[in-house]
Structure 1
Amino acid sequence: MAQSTLHFQEEPPAGPSLTVYDQEHMTLYLRLLDAERDGADWRDVVKVLFDLDPEVDPERCRHIHAAHLARAQWMSEHGYRELIGKNPLT
């Protein structure tokens, strides 16, 4: 099911701290990580998760996918610590 009501930026915020955007897009991040793990084609992923057509604007779609996947990976390696109340430096 497409998340057509999902409002997303071209790039998620970058930085060493969890943002409101990250919290609002947690499900998206998890779905991106699942798709990556399963070897899904990025074109299929942007169709389903972002409701975008990669045939119309492949560069933009590829960028949106890559930027959000990178933030999802950051969340899985570092950002989650803020969610569980642990200091990210320990």
Structure 2
Amino acid sequence: MLQPKSSTPIADEVHWSDSLTAYDKAHFTTYMRLLDASADNASDEDMAQLILGIDVTREPERARKALRSHVDRANWMVTTGYEELFAG
């Protein structure tokens, strides 16, 4: 189930890179929480609010963009980025 957001600041959009970034490493848990919540059919609003800490009522567009960006990066992490993460 969803747990309150982490205390690590969340970017409005994840900077894309073909390799792991410092942001990825700092937000690995956030990525995994998003994937877990998504697998549990959590709503986008709940994930943005509870995991990313964005008030979806006050900032619906920011919440939507940030969530999509972080979910996309989380998916990249589990399909490609993990190789670099566990390589050493």
How many pairs are equivalent?
Answer: 86
Gaps of 5+ in 1: none
Would you identify which runs of 4 or more consecutive aligned residues in structure 1 move more than 4 Å? none
Distance 2:48 2:22 in 1: 22
Per-residue CA deviation, residues 9-33 of structure 1 (Å, 9 max, x unaligned), is 1111201100010000000000000
Contact in 2 for aligned 1:6/1:50 (Cα 8 Å): no
Counterpart residue type for residue 54 of structure 1: V
Distance 1:85 1:18 in 2: 11
Identity %: 37
| Structure number with bigger Rg | 1
Distance 2:25 2:8 in 1: 13
2:47 is matched with 45
What TM-score does the superposition give when structure 1 sets the normalisation length? 0.88
1:28 is matched with 30
Gaps of 5+ in 2: none
Distance 1:8 1:59 in 2: 15
SS in 1 for 2:13: coil
Distance 2:72 2:62 in 1: 15
